């Protein structure tokens, strides 16, 4: 199965970003891809760098105008699209939501981001209510997709629960970068290596391919800027690198053998050997 990750910088205007997404979707379809993954919150610059009530105006309903446009692009290209939107569920209730649009343009399902960060320049708890749909894979015409979002990628529990529910591919739309004012070159490489390493671990531990998108470019005010590092990637089910982008805009394309998970799990039967009788403490915050 050929998949594509659209890695690009986001403009201030939503209509410009949607047009960019449409171009990448069309290009991916022309390249033979059947799945396209967009970056996290791709309709706008990453607005969570500050707390501002006016930025709730970026949110929209699902279904809504963006899913209509992206659904039409998916149908025209004959691809499944994983989009990432600021969902307005009700007045005062908003989610960071991934939407999966099937090859006919219909909404196959959605995932609401479960783990919400609250760190300098990533003030997401101000904007987003934690997801309430659980770690439930989304069935599509190309397979069962385990879609999560950005901060979720640091938690092995989410990847494992998606695997236990039958996900065939783990997907993480992301928006992650460096603060050049505080992160020197060595720290930047440590952060990038950790981001890649933890997700490679999800692939290996679950015997599943993993794909993560990211945006690129510098966003924010002069004193609060993030340089999004790109490096979108696809890992195979033994953690091997199938494709990886750089730090500029591009379409990252990879071929995935969707039958390899079955073979790898036969020689590395991690699911068989799990000691589920000894895992009750995983539901505790900490063991004092």
| Nearest-angstrom CA–CA distance, 86 and 129 | 11
Strands of the chain, DSSP E: 2-7, 35-37, 80-90, 93-101, 107-112, 118-119, 122-123, 138-140, 143-147, 169-172, 177-178, 210-212, 216-221, 224-229, 233-235, 241-244, 250-255
Q: What is the distance between the alpha carbons of residues 21 and 44, in angstroms, rounded to a whole number?
A: 12
Handedness of CA 135, 28, 10, 43 (dihedral sign): negative
Q: How far apart are CA 169 and CA 184, in angstroms?
A: 34
Neighbouring CB atoms inside 10 A of 50's CB total 12
β pairing state of 2-7 and 250-255: antiparallel
Is 10 a residue of the active site? no
Catalytic residue among 22, 113, 124, 168: 113
113 catalytic residue (yes or no): yes
CB atoms closer than 10 angstroms to residue 7: 26
Catalytic position from the list 22, 40, 87, 124: 40
Select which of 22, 150, 168, 219 is catalytic: 150
User: Do residues 156 and 147 make contact, with C-beta atoms less than 8 angstroms apart?
Assistant: no
Q: Check if 237 is active-site.
A: no
CA dist 152 to 81, 146, 258, Å?
A: 19, 12, 23
Distance from C-alpha of 235 to C-alpha of 98, rounded to nearest angstrom = 20
The answer to whether 260 touches 237, Cβ cutoff 8 Å, is yes
Catalytic residue positions? Answer: 40, 113, 150
């Amino acid at each position: 199965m050929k998949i594509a990750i659209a890695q690009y910088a986001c403009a201030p205007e939503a209509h410009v970003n949607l047009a960019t997404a449409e171009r990448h979707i069309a290009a991916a379809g022309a390249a033979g891809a059947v799945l396209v993954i967009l970056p996290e919150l791709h309709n706008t610059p990453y607005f969570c760098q500050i707390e501002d009530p006016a930025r709730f105006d970026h949110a929209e309903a699902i279904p809504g105008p963006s899913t209509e446009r992206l659904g039409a692009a998916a149908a025209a290209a004959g691809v499944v699209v994983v989009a990432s939107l600021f969902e307005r569920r009700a007045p005062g209730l908003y989610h960071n939501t991934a939407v999966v649009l099937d090859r006919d343009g219909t909404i196959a399902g959605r995932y609401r981001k479960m783990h919400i960060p609250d760190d300098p320049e990533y003030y997401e708890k101000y904007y987003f209510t934690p997801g309430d749909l659980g770690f439930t894979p989304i069935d599509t015409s190309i397979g069962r997709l385990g879609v999560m979002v950005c901060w979720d990628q640091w938690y092995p529990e989410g990847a494992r629960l998606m695997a236990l529910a039958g996900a065939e591919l783990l997907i993480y739309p992301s928006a992650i970068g460096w603060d050049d004012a505080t992160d020197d070159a060595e720290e930047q490489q440590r952060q990038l290596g950790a981001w890649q390493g933890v997700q490679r671990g999800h692939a290996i531990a679950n015997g599943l391919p993993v794909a993560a998108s990211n945006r690129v470019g510098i966003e924010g005010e002069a004193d609060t800027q993030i340089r999004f590092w790109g490096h979108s990637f696809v890992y195979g089910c033994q953690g091997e690198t199938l494709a990886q982008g750089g730090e500029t805009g591009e379409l990252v394309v990879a071929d995935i053998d969707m039958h390899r998970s079955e073979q790898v799990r036969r020689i590395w039967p991690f699911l068989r050997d799990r000691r589920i009788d000894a895992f009750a403490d995983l539901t505790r915050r900490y063991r004092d």
